[in-house]
Structure 1
Amino acid sequence: MGISVGDLLSMDFFKDFHVIAGHKGLNREIQGVSFLEVPEGHRWSIGKELIFTSGYIFAEFEGYLDKFCENFIPSHAALVIKRGSYLDKIPEKLIEIYDRNSIPLITMPYSPSWMTVVNQVNVGVLNHAIQSLRIDISQGPGCYNQNYKEQAIQKILKTLETEMEFPAFLYDVTMDKRYYSSDNFKKASEKYGIRESDYWSPQLPHTSHALCDCIHMKRYRLLKGEAANEPRISWVTIPIESAGVVQAYFCVMESRKFLDFYDEYSMRIAYLMLQGIFDQQVVARDASNIGFENLIHLAMESTPADARQLIYQADQLGLSVEQPYLCILFRHDQDELDIRSHRTSMLEAFKRCRMNRIGRVAFLSSTEGVILLNAVRLSPINKEEIRGLILEFQKLLRGTFPDVSWFFSFTGDSGDLHDLRPHIEKCRKVLNIGRLTDSRKTLFDYDALGILTWINIPEDELGPLLKKLQKLIDSEKNQELLYTLKTYLENNLNYSLTAEKLFVNVNTVRRRIEKVNELIPVHWDDYVERTKLGLLLQYLQPGPDSIIHLKERRNGS
């Protein structure tokens, strides 16, 4: 993306630059600056340059004018000659050939230095690029919206391709969304077999080199290998980061040629504008997180009388109280760590995981928080997918807080903000029971806990029940006794039925139950105790084909 000769000359600095030939070519594009002061200079033109000369080459080298006209290169943008330097009069032959080719021939004042002139050309190009790409990104965090962001990105990409003639692409990591300046980018990708991730982490044979280290602007060039006669495709990629987290990847395809000097200028300007959009998005999210957290606390404590306030507060955040959410509870086990005091670190970890695209996080206390996932975007709800999302966030938290254990629970049910309190209480119950029954696990699912979640066994009773089974749990050789006890309780203390189920002699069952009586005290006449014990064994699931290593699970080894 350069600037036309006419637009450049319209700048105040160039008011004393006079076009003496080639007026029809004022729309020619300038894509660089070069100088003609030696006889070989015209050979080094690559096209679209604004060529400057003092006229020395024409005045002092006999016959050069004829040679220049014979080997005239019509691809440059214009020729600018200093007045009053070496040429008292511009040769008619030079005027004639520039008029014939509709290429501007311009004279300039004697006084400006080359550096001053070149700087002004660069200023003109930059101003033109900024004006073309200009997007108002001055909205405050409170009025930021996704539609504005998408429209701004699309406009920048389309303008960039129109001006540069190179297709552009942006991948929004935070929303897993793709933007294209046109279908040309997709077509080139398909033609050369380039996957999306190759644009920032290429797996195909390639070369690469940095164009700008400070913004990690890099050119990748694909090696064609067998198709040696075809041009090697290349692209330029810049990651867009906020607070050290990659928000997006911005790419420009070089399917026919490399970006030139001014194209790189334009890409940098587009990058800065895109960076501003994503920075604004991050600021808006951080600012709205406090508001979202207040909304969650209001929903947790609200009564029917607070319904209007709940609707109003949700509306201020652009949310609906009727929006269905899936609730995930998380908690850590260190009293000295207050997650609210580490809000920034917690939010950065959340931003780096996929849940950030479909959910929001709030802190309920110093040790506990909740994640609400958009149930509509999860539809249909896939529990394995949810587990994968949780494990990803859990891993990021361990990386941020390496000495802290994090525990998660979810139910798989969805509900709106009116149902939030019972959903969180249900998750708490799952987490509490899960940690009591299996201290090695860190992720608990309501359905996986089975019947234990259906009845209300107080935690102060569940602990002693587990402790009673400790002698059987601690010894792997006693797993057989544990399974026999489970089967015996399931068959109403009937030795014969138990033996039949276990495919053993009835006397074997008697000996095993006697051994159980020696190791743990069981009040066989207490129906309530037998029921609780049977329920607990249903969860522990000891069996002949998959005897679980309860000792390992209890000790965390």
Structure 2
Amino acid sequence: MGIKIGEILKTKFFSDYHLIAGEKGLDRETQAVALFDAPDGYKWFKGKELVLSSGYLFKDDIKLFKDVIIFLHSKNSTGMAIKTDRYLNEIPEEIINLCNDLGFPLINIPYNAAWIDIINAVNSIAMNSYITYINDKKNADKLLLRSDNFHKKIEKTIINLSEEINYPISIFDILEKEIFTFPINHSLLKDDISFNKGDDFSFNYQKEVLCDKLNIYRIKNIEDKSKCPFIIMPIVIKGVTVSKLIVWEECNEIDYYDLFSLRLSYTLLLEIYEQIYLMNSFERRFYDDLIKDLINGELDTKQKLIKAMNSIQDFKLNIENKFICICIKQDENNPSFYNSRETISTTFLLNIPKDKSIFGILDDNTIIIIYDVEEHREDIIENVKKTFEPIFRQIKTTFSDREIKLGIGDMVEDICSIKKSYIGSLKAVDIGSYIYPDGEMISFEDLGPFGLLRLENIQRKNFSNNFSNIYPLLKEPNSEELISTLKVYLESESNCNIAAKKLFIHSNTVRYRIAKIQQTCNIDLEDPIERLKIEITLKFIDILK
């Protein structure tokens, strides 16, 4: 991004400055302002600078004057502004002719003008021009860009920025896994950029930080010098990277004004993504009722579901796909999940694409997620566990003072049959808590035959009738010791020696305790059926207690 020197001279601040020579070069672009008052200082100019000078070096050295102008012209510098009333009473005719021939603007600076005021003025003009440009474009696009047409807003911001700074630009939407690039015919190096939230490049690279606060940095490929460097600006909402703005530096590195434009555009994009986040948070509040209706069987046909979906904007699930129900449940007597809706919504919204799931709070202690598993052709449960493991870990960290479990139901071919998967996910949590007391993510598939049990039947009154033989053991003074021995003994395939090693006691002690257990409970542990019944009972021993 830059501004033409002719446009600078038309502004109010520069009304007292006049062009001495080089009118043909008024369309030269200014991208910086630099001071020059050292004999060899001109050798380090980079290009596109408006050079300021007191003229002291040229008062007795016209050759140096010519050499400097020729050098600056060769570097494509903007021009030279000089205080002619300080050391030079007049500009030599051959200098004027040289500037006219080269189209190199030579400008007179008023005697009292301060360097810092000139520098600030040029910077303000350049920056204000981009702000004005953006505002004009926004006003021109008001009819096109409705308040909720966020993707169009993002694309328009990228186009405006690319046209202003003259670099190809891409936006990598991590949540939607979409890429928009302008110009659209740009050969994108998308193999080098991933949709991951952090740095993950397929080559060895050098990282140069351009702005600490906004985490703007440049990446250079140190394996293949032919590949152009690129600048990355991560767009972060609630601590999660939702998108990456990429500037492809094909010709040369961006300048100071370009970086300003980037920062301004970053602010605009951040505002748009925050609006998307707020809208999605609001929309997802309506998923509570939709999910309740699905798992209650009220939306038992796709026609009914489609009718219900019509009241929800931006609903992106493909209801023709296969789905699975996931249940996240906390122990009772904890603060309601409704009190933490915003935190929960943020966790899911920023980690699961909208076209892959809907989620809602079912009651004070239960969160339900309906998840699209169409892309998983095999190992569906394992893939779901892998996907949700970091998300569940984040939930556990957020509610570290609570006991929380995650249950996964079976896949259903029709989303309107999700009730079956919901029941399975609930069983995975409730029954799985007894079968796998240390497990935190349990699937209905993991339960095996235990999945045939009904939680409402696993209660003291009903359960005691079927397993009354174990009750005498609970009345013994050393019942905990006996129960622990029995558990380990059965886990050790009824081998006293192995059980003794696990319990760190003598094998004869194990034999004595097992004999006492069989006598007290009137059970025969040599009978495989009796042994299986006792093993099942021990899984639910806490209820029996």
**Smaller-chain TM-score bracket:** 0.7 to 0.9
Task: State how 1:98-497 maps to structure 2 within 5 Å.
Answer: 98-131=99-132, 136=138, 148-181=149-182, 186-187=188-189, 200=199, 206-223=205-222, 234-254=229-249, 257-297=252-292, 311=307, 314-319=310-315, 323=319, 325-351=323-349, 353-354=351-352, 358-375=356-373, 382-414=380-412, 419=417, 423-454=421-452, 456=454, 458-460=457-459, 464=464, 474-479=486-491
What CA deviation, in whole Å up to 9, does each residue of 1:62-120 have, x standing for no partner? 65434445656332112223464444444322222222122333335445433222222
Q: CA deviation at 1:331?
A: 0.2
Contact 1:133 1:270 in 2 (8 A): no
TM-score with structure 2 setting the length: 0.74
| Secondary structure of 2:411 counterpart | strand
Q: Are 2:29 and 1:29 aligned?
A: yes
How far apart, CA to CA, are the structure 2 residues paired with 1:67 and 1:346?
67
Q: Name the stretch that deviates more: 170-179 or 258-267.
A: 170-179
| Secondary structure of 2:235 counterpart | strand
| Secondary structure of 1:319 counterpart | coil
How far apart, CA to CA, are the structure 1 residues paired with 2:180 and 2:467?
56
Q: CA deviation at 1:432?
A: 2.3
Q: CA deviation at 1:32?
A: 1.0
Q: CA deviation at 1:335?
A: 1.7
Q: CA deviation at 1:350?
A: 2.8
Q: Name the stretch that deviates more: 21-30 or 69-78.
A: 69-78
How far apart, CA to CA, are the structure 2 residues paired with 1:243 and 1:59?
60
| Secondary structure of 2:58 counterpart | helix
| Secondary structure of 1:409 counterpart | strand
Contact 1:200 1:237 in 2 (8 A): no
- Structure 1 pair 411–463 and aligned structure 2 pair: CA distance change class (3 A): same
Q: Are 2:20 and 1:45 aligned?
A: no
How far apart, CA to CA, are the structure 2 residues paired with 1:131 and 1:374?
45
Q: CA deviation at 1:393?
A: 1.8
What CA deviation, in whole Å up to 9, does each residue of 1:8-39 have, x standing for no partner? 33434344443443333333221211123333
Contact 2:331 2:402 in 1 (8 A): yes
Structure 2 runs not aligned, ≥5 long: 471-481, 496-514
How far apart, CA to CA, are the structure 1 residues paired with 2:103 and 2:467?
93
Contact 2:316 2:355 in 1 (8 A): no
Q: Name the stretch that deviates more: 337-346 or 451-460.
A: 451-460
How far apart, CA to CA, are the structure 2 residues paired with 1:199 and 1:101?
49
User: Match for 2:8: what amino acid?
Assistant: L
Q: Name the stretch that deviates more: 338-347 or 459-468.
A: 459-468
Q: Are 2:10 and 1:4 aligned?
A: no
Equivalent in the alignment of 2:498: none
| Secondary structure of 2:370 counterpart | strand
Q: CA deviation at 1:48?
A: 0.9
Contact 1:39 1:57 in 2 (8 A): yes
Contact 1:361 1:371 in 2 (8 A): yes
What CA deviation, in whole Å up to 9, does each residue of 1:453-512 have, x standing for no partner? 3575722278556896896994433347689xxxxxxxxxxxxxxxxxxxxxxxxxxxxx
Contact 2:318 2:355 in 1 (8 A): no
What CA deviation, in whole Å up to 9, does each residue of 1:383-441 have, x standing for no partner? 22111122222211222223333212222334777555555344323432322333232
Structure 1 runs not aligned, ≥5 long: 484-513, 524-529, 541-549
| Secondary structure of 1:317 counterpart | coil
- Structure 1 pair 333–136 and aligned structure 2 pair: CA distance change class (3 A): farther
How far apart, CA to CA, are the structure 2 residues paired with 1:334 and 1:388?
27
- Structure 1 pair 459–72 and aligned structure 2 pair: CA distance change class (3 A): closer
TM-score with structure 1 setting the length: 0.72
Equivalent in the alignment of 1:503: none
User: Match for 1:292: what amino acid?
Assistant: Y
Number of residue-to-residue matches in the alignment = 498
- Structure 1 pair 239–352 and aligned structure 2 pair: CA distance change class (3 A): same
How far apart, CA to CA, are the structure 2 residues paired with 1:12 and 1:128?
14
Contact 1:299 1:418 in 2 (8 A): yes
RMSD after superposition = 4.7
| Secondary structure of 2:231 counterpart | strand
How far apart, CA to CA, are the structure 2 residues paired with 1:533 and 1:199?
53
